[in-house]
Each structure stands twice: as structure tokens, then as C-alpha cells.
Structure 1
Amino acid sequence: MTVLLWVGIALAALVVLAIGLRALGATRWTELVRTHTTQLESGSVGAQGRLPSPARFDAHELEGLPPPVGRYFRQVLTDGQPIIAAARIEMTGTMNMSAAGEQWKPFTSRQRVVTRRPGFLWDAQVFMFPGLPAHVEDSYIAGNGRLIAKVAGLFTVADSQGEGEIARGEFMRYFAESPWYPTALLHSQGVRWEAVDNASARATLIDDPITLTLLFRFDDAGLIASVHAKARGAGAGKDEVMLMLPWDCAFSEYQRQGGMLVPMTGEAAWVRPAGRQVYFVGHVKTLSHEFLP
């Protein structure tokens, strides 16, 4: 048997092995995400009575809010708008995998959000190499944060979960992304607003024992342009030390969805000593909401 034939057989075997490992990894990852999604939904059902919430938005609720906040709600909601109980978001975009340089990789993602007790699960595929995706879960479920990344769904490269700063950071993501489910920012949904100036306001939300306060900035059209946190934990790899850095989310390209005005593009950035470093840019492909009965 010729050397070339042996090489061909070996390459074919490697291809078959790679396909089998990828299929196995995808199956295991799907099972993991399904388990965590069940936990997310169970926590939401158990929290239905958490807030004495109206089923619909009443414009009288805006009385006494800081001026830019009132303008925002008048722009994005209409009187009688049903209150959002859950959302599904599908996105495509790019992520910078390097803290010091530029290593942008494409991703696709599906996200489930619940609001009765704040929670979400972001299930993404980041295409690190051709034919070899990394599966990533970012989630906040029943007061616990989680960031897991596995190459091909099998080989763990990041695993950070529990309470403390990881939970605080994931709850922060839920709160900052509220422009995609804007009724979650209403006073009746537990958010307390504090005036800063004519173009910004602080918002506070509690999911005991975590209390968060973020700075919301509004553009000339009255829409949320960005959300800022003084500090969020950065670094979740196996050997990484978590750093506390200022953190920004920015939103743009607002469109009407389900009677509400929501952004179709979002980005996230760390504010490092050298300046603001964007590490995530996502574009909404589909967005659907479920409402309180």
C-alpha cells in the first residue's frame, strides 16, 4: 500500500473523528442548555407573585419621573402596552477575544429572558476556527451567575458560576439590556429612578441580595443611547483573575417591534486605562415578547 494511500486513510479517519466529536459535543451542549433553561423558566414561574404588577402600562405611572426617563417611556411605549413577562432574542455579530489586541470572531446566539424574577440565558456559538465553534453560555438564573465556554461543546476553556461578583455581573447584563424588554424598566416593575441631568438618570433594581445602580444616558430623540456601570468583573477564563473595570453598553438603530420601540444593535465595552475597548457588537435578527395575561 502506497504512502499516499496511508495518508489518505489517516486524513479520512481524522475527519470522521472530528465530525463525531463535534456531533457529540453539540448533543451534550444542547442537554446542558436545556437543563439550565428549565431552571430559568421554573424560577420565573415561582416568582409570579414577586411584584404586585399591573398587566398593562398606565401612562399615569410616569408622573414624577426624571424628565429624560418620562420622555423615553413616552417614545417607546403606548398607554395600555402589555407588560413583558419574557423575551426571545436571536442575534449575529462579532466578539473581540483579546483583552490587549484585536481578535474579532463571528457569533450567532439565542437568548431567553424572563422578568418576573430577573433572569436570562444567552446560548451562543463563537466561530474560533473554521468548522470548530466554541459554545458559550452566559446566564443569570435565580440569583446565580454563570459563564461557561466549551470548544466543540466538549473542552472547557471558561467556567465561572455562583453568587458574588459573577452573579452581580450577570444581573448587571440583564439590567443593562432592558431596552430590549423596556417595560422591565418601569417603576411598577421595581425600578427606582433618580435624576442626574436632562440627558441621564440613575436606575436601581434589586434582586435580593443584589442591589444594582446603573447610569442610563439618553440621546436627542429621547431613546436610551448607553448604560454605564462604575465597575463590573472582567475575566472568567480558567486561570484569569477577575478585574473590576468600568463597563458600558450602547444601543442604536431603534425599530418598532410588538408596538414598542427597541434597539436592533447593541455593543458592550470595557473602559480600561488606555480607553474604551468594545468587545461585543450584536445585531438583532429576531425579537419576540410574551406578555402578562
Structure 2
Amino acid sequence: MRHYRKRVLITGGAGFIGSHLADRLIGAGHHVICADNFFTGARENIAHLLGNPFFEVLRHDVTFPLYVEVDEIYNLACPASPVHYQFDPVQTTKTSVAGAINMLGLAKRLRVPVLQASTSEVYGDPQIHPQTEEYWGNVNPIGPRACYDEGKRCAETLFFDYHRQHRVPIRVARIFNTYGPRMHPNDGRVVSNFIVQALAGEPITIYGDGSQTRSFCYVDDLVEGLIRFMEQPANEPGPLNIGNPAEFTIRELAEMTVRMTGSASSIEYRTLPQDDPKQRQPDIARMRALTGWAPTVPLEEGLARTIAHFRTRHFA
């Protein structure tokens, strides 16, 4: 039986997660259209795909409508680290909100499923632990992180309203901290920060006392989760948490990074930024029950792969 080659649109397809998703979908025999304005995406992330006849790149900003014919849409376009989303907070909010409207409009016209890459940041600085999808969150709507947190929350609102009002088949994935090869080296995220500082022999900077926790999901696990969610037959809209429930303190991550890089870096402590969450851990029971998905790559293994990538790409 002949394999059906789906045409899949990935907005933010040249980004860290988007490029790995493109790899997986092309590897599965599908045709990928990557739309990216290259604000945080990088051509080097997709350079290996440019000669593939089943891969296309469109330089496009999702705050403007896009007219293509596809079978599925993954809406990943948005700066996802504080350094980048606070650089132009108005544009960040527009990317989340206008981008959602444009991708939902496309999905409505084509009658195809659309997956929204939402975020654990919709929970803000959570007052329950671990975070379940029923929790409404504790978000400062006027703080310096609100452009991202509230932008993503509004995008979720739009997705569910299009689902109820126009019967658009949606999937809303709340993505928790993800790491791996192709992370932007200067994005300010804790894993890339620590690796770059350790490999450069610079002090490891921890904001706060290092007791705050995060749960780190390797990018291959995350991509597997996104694809399973998109393809599940129940047409479940979510929202579903996708992340690794294994919880580590920031200090533990710093010590592990120093040890695994063989660095002589010391650890320095700085003031904690405003509205920085103290705890972050996903409850993935709903995702596991719906799709059978659970992360398989432990932090030490994923960190070793990520360090190897940074050594060859940025410190060769």
C-alpha cells in the first residue's frame, strides 16, 4: 500500500524544537513546509534539509496571514526565552495572539488539525505542585514576563473558542522546559547558559539561591510527544502537559554541568528576576493515558548529548 505523504506546516520551523520536529516528520515520509521569520530561528538548524525535495522554507512572520495548502499545522512560532521575548514584548504578544488567529483561520479554511505549542508558563509561579492541566495558574498580567505568559494564555483562549465556535480540530500542548542540540547559545535559558559558561571556563551564574526547581525534557522526547498528540485518534483538544516529571534544583543542574564538562568553573549567585517561578514539574498522567507517551531520556544522558553538540558547534 502506497504511503500517503502528508503536507505539514511548522511555524517556527527553523527554531530549536521546530527543526527537530521537521527532521522527524521528513524521516517519517512527510512533506514539511517551514515558516520562520528567523528572529530566533537559525538557518543552520535546517541547513541539512535544504536539498530535500520534501522540505520548503518560507520567510514569514505569523502576525501576517499565510496561504498554503497543508494537512496539518504545528504552530511553534514565538520567542521562548526571556532574553528574546522581552527584547520586543509588544511583538511577542502579537506573535502569540495574531499568530494564533492566523493559524486558526488557516486551519478553519482547510479543515485540518492545528497544534498550539503552549507553555508551562501559563501556570506562572504555581501555588500547586506538580502542575495539572486543571490548574488555572498564578500569573502577573502586567509584569515583564507577561508578554509571553499572557500571550500564550490568550492563544489558548483563541484555540478553544475556535474549537467550540467553528469546530476547528485543535491540540493544545503545554510544553515544559526542553533542552538539547540546536538550543540558541545566547538565549538565556538555564541549560544552554550553564553549558556555554562551563565550556568557556566562566563562572556559572545562578539566579537566586539555586533551590528553585525545573523539570528538563530532552527534545527527542518532546517531539515524540507532540507527534503522538497530533495523531491520537480521539480528537482530544487538551490542554495536555508534555514534559519530564523528573525534578532537579538549579544548583543540582549547575553541579552536574560542571562535572560533565570537566570545567573548573565556580558557581556565582545573582538576584532572582521578577516573577521567576520557584517550582516547575508537570503532571503528565493525562498525556500518558491518552497516547502512552512518557519521556525516556534521563537528564544525564540528554545533557551529555547537548554538551557534545555545543563543543563541536560553538567551541570547536
TM-score by length of 1: 0.29
Per residue, is there more helix in 1 or in 2? 2
Per residue, is there more strand in 1 or in 2? 1
TM-score by length of 2: 0.27
- Structure number with larger C-alpha Rg: 1
